[in-house]
Amino acid sequence: MVRTLRLFWLLQRAALRSMLQYRMNSVIGILTGAVWQGTGFAFIWVVMHTFPSLAGWGLAEIAFLYGLRLTAHGVAMIPLMALHNIEFLVREGEFDRYLLRPLNPLVQVLGNRLGLAQVGDLLVGVALLVVAGQSTGIEWGPWPLIVCVVAIVSGALIEGAFFLALCSLSLRLLDTYALRSFVDEAFSTFGSYPLKIFGSVVEWLLTYVLPVAFVAYVPASVVLGKLDGTWALAGPVLGVILMALGYQVWRGQLKHYQSVGS
C-alpha cells in the first residue's frame, strides 16, 4: 500500500510537470474552470436579487454552500480527471499496456494527467468559502473548521466514488459518457442549492438514493446552525463506504475487460 501510494504521488508529480511545459495552455485551462464556475455563481447571485431568501437561506449562506460543494468537487476531480478519457484508452487498445506492468492499472491511468480546469473550480470554491464564511456571521472555532475540512474530504470521496464507478463501467460497456454527465449534472446543479426548494420527494432522493446532500448541503447546514451536529458524522462514514464500493466496481469491471484485439 505504501509503495503504491508513493508511486501514485510520483506519477502525479510527473504528470503535473508534463502539463506545465505548456504554461499558457495550463493557465487557460485553470482560468476556464474558474470562469465557468464563476458564471454559475453569478446566476445564483442574480436569482437571489429577485428572491432574497430561498427556503430560509440568504445569499451569503448559499454562497457558503456553493463554495463547500465546489471545493469538494475540485479536490475529487483534480486527481481523478484522467479517468474521463478511459473510453479512448479502451477503444484504442491503450489500456492493454497498463495490464502488462507490475503496478495497479488504476494508479497508472490516474498518473496520466491532472484536471487543470478543476484547479480553477477549487480556487473559486475556496474564495467563496473565505468570503461567505466572513459574511454569514459564523462564530469560527475548532468545531466549524473541523466540520468544513471533514466535509470537503468526505464530499470529495462521495463524488469521486460515483465518478470512479461510472468510469469503471467503460471497461465493459465502452461508452458511459451520458450516464456520467447525468450524475455530474445532478451533483453540480442540485448540490449548489438548499435541497428543500426542490420539494420533499427530490430532497429524499438526493439524500438517500443519490447522496448529493452529504457533499455540501448537510455539512453547510450543520456549520450554519440549521441542522443538528450529529449529522456531520454521516458524510465521512458514507464517503469511505462509497469509495470502497467504487473501487470494488473498478476491480469487478476489470475482470470483464476484453482487449480490442480479442
Residue-wise pLDDT tens digits, 131-187: 888 888 787 888 889 999 999 999 999 999 999 999 998 888 877 888 888 888 889
Domains of the chain, by residue range, sit at 2-255
pLDDT tens digits, residue range 191-206?
Answer: 888 988 888 899 999 9
55 or 22, which is more confident?
Answer: 55
The three-state (H, E, C) secondary structure of the chain, written as one string: CHHHHHHHHHHHHHHHHHHCCCHHHHHHHHHHHHHHHHHHHHHHHHHHHHCCCECCECHHHHHHHHHHHHHHHHHHHHHHHHHHHHHHHHHCCCCHHHHHCCCCHHHHHHCCCCCHHHHHHHHHHHHHHHHHHHHCCCCCCHHHHHHHHHHHHHHHHHHHHHHHHHHHCHHHHCCCHHHHHHHHHHHHHHCCCCHHHHCHHHHHHHHHCCCHHHCCHHHHHHHCCCCCHHHHHHHHHHHHHHHHHHHHHHHHHHHCCCCCCC
Assess whether pLDDT exceeds 80 at residue 77: yes
Q: Specify the pLDDT at position 152.
A: 94
pLDDT band at residue 19 using 50, 70 and 90 as cut-offs: low
pLDDT band at residue 1 using 50, 70 and 90 as cut-offs: low
Mean pLDDT of all residues in 19-48: 76
